[in-house]
Amino acid sequence: MQISEPKKPQVVRTVTEVRALVRAARREGRRIGFVPTMGALHEGHLSLVRAAKEAANFTVVSIFVNPTQFGPQEDFAQYPRTLEADLQLLAAYSVDAVFAPSEQEMYPAGFDSWVEVGAIAAPLEGRCRPGHFRGVATVVLKLFNIVQPDIAWFGQKDYQQALVIQRMVADLNVPVEIRVCPTVREPDGLAMSSRNRYLGPDSRQKATILWQALCKAKQLVAAGEKDTAVLAAQLRSMIAAVPGAQIDYVAFVNPQTLAPVRRVDRPVLVALAVRIDGTRLIDNELITP
Active site residues: 45
Cβ of 220: how many Cβ atoms within 10 Å?
18
Query: Which DSSP string do the residues of 97-165 spell out, in sequence order?
Result: EEE---HHHHS-TT--------GGGSSTHHHHSTTHHHHHHHHHHHHHHHH--SEEEEEGGGHHHHHHH
* Burial class of residue 1, CB neighbours in 10 A (0-12, 13-18, 19+): exposed
For residue 211, which of 289, 274, 279, 128 has the smallest C-alpha distance? Answer: 274
DSSP lists the bridge partners of residue 268 as 287
Look at the alpha carbons of 129, 105, 96, 196 in this order and tell me if their dihedral is positive or negative: negative
Q: State the Cα–Cα distance between residues 249 and 131, nearest whole angstrom.
A: 18
Q: How far is residue 19's CA from residue 143's CA, in Å, rounded to a whole number? A: 11
Under DSSP, is residue 16 helix (H, G, I), strand (E, B) or coil? helix
CA gap 220, 28 in Å, rounded: 54
- Helix 159-171, helix 132-147: angle, nearest 10: 60
